[in-house]
Amino acid sequence: MRLSARRLDPEFLQWFGLFGAALTWTLQLVIGFGVTIARCGPANAVLGVDVKAWELGLMATGVALALLAESAALSILWQTRNGDYGGPPPEGRRHFFALAASIGNVLFIVIIILSGTGAIVHEPCMQS
């Protein structure tokens, strides 16, 4: 019996590395908004929504997925390390996108942590 390691498609890694962290942050923001609205609505008497637990879970999941996107981008960057971002397609395009994604993903990881922390510290449903 022969075991073979299956490699992930470089195209998939390229696009997941480029858009994975951004989509993760978007989902964290939208789902977190929905949880806050549910907490402040009349349904909370029945559901008992715990915003802090939801936001902590969303933040942890978001950081984990964004780190996966960063590792995908760094994997493609490593595979195309001898290429040039101005080189012929698809290697040049992959190198350029991986370079942009590896920088952008770090920013999205920080955004996910900051928005999650702000949502956990803030008390919803308070009147000013």
Question: How much is the pTM?
Answer: 0.85
Is pLDDT above 60 for 1? no
Note the pLDDT tens digit of each residue in 95-124. Answer: 899 999 999 999 999 999 999 999 999 887
Q: What is the pLDDT of residues 19-76, one digit of tens each?
A: 999 999 999 999 999 998 888 888 777 888 888 999 999 999 999 999 999 999 999 9
Task: Please report the pLDDT score of residue 8 as a whole number.
Answer: 78
Query: Where along the chain do its domains lie?
Result: 11-121
DSSP the chain: ----PPPPPHHHHHHHHHHHHHHHHHHHHHHHHHHHHHHHSTTHHHH---HHHHHHHHHHHHHHHHHHHHHHHHHHHHHTTTS-TTSSTTHHHHHHHHHHHHHHHHHHHHHHHHHHHHHHHSPTT---
In this predicted model, what pLDDT tens digit does every residue of 61-94 receive, in sequence order? 999 999 999 999 999 999 988 877 677 788 888 9
**15 closest CA partner among 113, 83, 90, 86:** 90
